[in-house]
Amino acid sequence: MEAKHRLVAEFLRKHRFDALLLQKPGNFAWFTSGAENTRGLTAETTAALFITDSARVVATNNVDSVELFEEHLPGLGFQLKQRAWYEPQPLLLEDLCRGRTVAGDGNFPGTKNVTPHLNAMRLPLTDLEIARMRELGRRLVHSVEATCRNCRPMKTEAELAGEVAHRLAKRRVTPLRIQVAGDGRTERFRHWGFDNEPVHQFATISAIGRWHGLCLGVTRTFCFNDPPNKLRQSHHRAVLLLATGAAFSQHEWELCEVWKRVKRIYEKFGVADEWQLDRQAEVFGYGTSEMPLTPKSDFQLATGMPVFWHPSVGPAPTGDTILVGKSAFEWLTPTENWPQLAVEVKGDIIHCPGLHVVRSFEDDNDEADESSTSHFEHAAADSGSGYDLSAVFLD
């Protein structure tokens, strides 16, 4: 908290502002290291931050102030400015801003929008935020993979989405996006959500979750019995793309340079135009798109930045979040109990999630899976999936 306040104070002095007004949930969570200023799953905000070089103030109402200070901000040096719940919050903010030169993260009257500067402050992540990302990854992966392993033929997409949401809520992760696409529906609708159609042969489950304000995404694909040839081949290509994107997401690399390597794989394996059908990756953090990957983006990656790679080929989306490191990347969404595929990129072996084949219909034990590391290693080595990419070499 003190480090972030020093960062803001330096910005205020440099740009000659008296104060900074933060209202957006991502910025509120960033400065407070995880506090929420939204009410439940709605977009309604309950509080704002007013920060000067020497003070940090929470502006809220008499109802929400109790929870904020007891549950989210105890002992963190915040002052409180509040009004009755029935009085408009803008009046309180106007009082704080009156007579001052104020920067802000929106278009509040009398403030100057400095969103680009704020986005730059939010990255890279701190050690605490990285530790939270790792824990969020474990919770998110378990929720998605356990739902896949427990699926039975003819379950509907909506039922599977509900199971993912239940598992996330149980682990206090807020679901920001849940997508369940059965039997190749993503080939036609790349941003498909879910409906009441049953799953017959295979499905892909994607989820983005938020915990302590931080966001993370993952995608897994499963099938009943042996995967159809088109699914298998498409998934192989998608995994090659995922491994390439992860491997070249390196410290001080510009996104456009990473993209050139990924695009080459699209071309090399005969799906040159597939990338134009959907987005490929975004830098994550306190938002789900701190910076999107585009072919001409000159945004420079740095150690401590999470990147959600989600390339897709035909009916086979993939998706995992990695953390950029100085010498190598780290999976923030490592598999829990899932078959893996080995891909070699520039001499390094990268293990990526494969297709999970649901062959047994015995109940899965959520709690046992969460802590069963040895079971994971055995499952990865003896998955019985019948395919791997260990002989594939990428330049």
The pTM assigned to this predicted structure is 0.90
Backbone angles phi, psi at 295, to 5 degrees: -55, -25
- Segment 117-130 shows an average pLDDT of 96
Q: Identity (one letter) of the amino acid at 31?
A: F
What is d(CA 296, CA 280) in angstroms, rounded to the nearest whole number? Answer: 13
In 10 A of CB 69, how many CB atoms?
17
| Model confidence pLDDT, tens digit, residues 264-305 | 999 999 999 999 999 999 999 999 999 999 999 999 999 999
Question: Residue 58 in contact with residue 81, Cβ under 8 Å?
Answer: yes
What is d(CA 204, CA 54) in angstroms, rounded to the nearest whole number? Answer: 50
Question: Residue 112 in contact with residue 104, Cβ under 8 Å?
Answer: yes
DSSP letter for each residue of 44-104: -B-EEEEE-SS-EEEEEETTHHHHIIIII-TTS--EEEEE-TTS-HHHHHHHHHTTS-EEE
Lowest mean pLDDT among 48-52, 169-173, 227-231, 389-393: 389-393
Average pLDDT, the chain: 90
Peptide bond before residue 109 is cis, with ω within 30 degrees of 0: no
**Cα-based distances in Å from 126 to 3, 5, 109, 285, 304:** 10, 14, 32, 11, 7
User: What are the structural domain ranges in the chain?
Assistant: 2-121, 127-394
- Residue 364: per-residue pLDDT: 57
**Cα-based distances in Å from 358 to 181, 220, 221, 333, 364:** 16, 13, 11, 21, 11
CATH superfamily for 127-394 is Creatinase/methionine aminopeptidase superfamily (3.90.230.10)
pLDDT above 70 for 352:
yes
Closest CA to 221 of 312, 87, 288: 312
Q: Which residues in 131-187 belong to E strands, given as ranges?
A: 174-182
Question: Three-class SS of residue 18?
Answer: coil
pLDDT above 80 for 371:
no
List CB contacts of 143: < 8 A, sequence separation 6 or more.
164, 167, 168, 171, 173, 207, 209
Backbone angles phi, psi at 379, to 5 degrees: -65, -35
- CATH 3.40.350.10 applies to domain 2-121: yes
- Residue 385: per-residue pLDDT: 36
| Model confidence pLDDT, tens digit, residues 75-119 | 999 999 999 999 999 999 999 999 999 999 999 999 999 999 999
